[in-house]
Amino acid sequence: MISDRYLESQIAADLTKKMVFIGGPRQVGKTSLALRLMEAHKASLYLNYDNIMHRKVIREQRWSQADGLLVFDELHKMPKWKTWIKGIYDVEKANHQILVTGSARLDIYRKGVDSLLGRYHYWRLHPFSIDEYPASMSFNDVVNRLLTVGGFPEPFLTMDQRDADRWRRDRFERVLTDDLRGLEMIRDISSLQVLCDILRERVHSTLAPANIAKDLEVSPKTVSRWIEALEKLYVCFAIYPYAAKGLTRSLTKPPKVFFYDNADVTGDRGARFENLVATTLLKRLHWLEDYAGRRCNLHFLRDKDGRECDFLTIIDKKPDLCIEAKVSDATISPGLRYYAERIKPRRAVQLVLELERPYSKDGIDVMDLKTFVQSEKAFAL
Confidence at 1, pLDDT banded by 50, 70, 90: very low
Confidence at 304, pLDDT banded by 50, 70, 90: confident
H/E stretch holding 280: helix 269-292
Range with lowest mean pLDDT among 58-72, 102-116, 239-253: 102-116
pLDDT score of 204: 82
- Provide mean pLDDT across the span 104-119: 67
pLDDT score of 174: 87
- Provide mean pLDDT across the span 90-115: 78
Report whether pLDDT(190) > 90: no
Taking the C-alpha atoms of residue 140 and residue 161, their distance in angstroms, rounded to an integer, is: 18
Report residue 316 CA to chain centroid gap: 19
Confidence at 184, pLDDT banded by 50, 70, 90: low
pLDDT score of 182: 62
pLDDT score of 113: 47
Phi-psi bin for 128: left (phi > 0), alpha (psi -120 to 50), beta? beta
Q: Does domain 8-124 have CATH number 3.40.50.720?
A: no
Q: Assign 3-state DSSP to the chain and report helix, strand, coil percentages, each to 5.
A: 45, 20, 35
pLDDT score of 276: 98
pLDDT score of 102: 84
- Provide mean pLDDT across the span 267-290: 96
pLDDT score of 215: 87
| Cα dihedral 263, 265, 271, 277 in deg (nearest 10) | -50
- Provide mean pLDDT across the span 190-201: 90
Q: Which residues touch 27 (CB under 8 Å, ≥6 apart)?
A: 152, 153, 154, 171
Confidence at 60, pLDDT banded by 50, 70, 90: very high
Taking the C-alpha atoms of residue 269 and residue 130, their distance in angstroms, rounded to an integer, is: 17
Mean pLDDT of the chain: 91
pLDDT score of 306: 87
CA distances, 139 to each of 67, 274, 348, 358, 379 (Å): 40, 18, 23, 17, 18
| Angle at CA of residue 40, ends 34 and 41, nearest 5° | 100
Report whether pLDDT(201) > 90: yes
For residue range 249-277, list pLDDT tens digits in order.
Answer: 666 678 999 999 999 999 789 999 999 99
Report whether pLDDT(9) > 50: yes
Confidence at 244, pLDDT banded by 50, 70, 90: confident
pLDDT score of 185: 63
Positive or negative, the Cα torsion across 168, 174, 176, 177?
positive
pLDDT score of 183: 63
Taking the C-alpha atoms of residue 207 and residue 99, their distance in angstroms, rounded to an integer, is: 38
> What residue ranges of the chain are covered by domains with CATH 3.40.50.300?
8-124
Residue scoring higher pLDDT (117 or 43):
43
CA distances, 57 to each of 51, 91, 207, 226 (Å): 10, 17, 47, 36
Query: Is 151 exposed, middle or buried (CB count within 10 Å of its CB: 0-12, 13-18, 19+)?
Result: buried
pLDDT score of 192: 84
Collapsing DSSP to helix, strand or coil, 307 comes out as coil
Percent of the chain with pLDDT over 90: 73
CA distances, 351 to each of 156, 192, 377 (Å): 23, 33, 15
- Provide mean pLDDT across the span 350-376: 97
Confidence at 342, pLDDT banded by 50, 70, 90: very high
Collapsing DSSP to helix, strand or coil, 98 comes out as strand
CB atoms within 10 A of CB 31: 17
pLDDT score of 253: 75
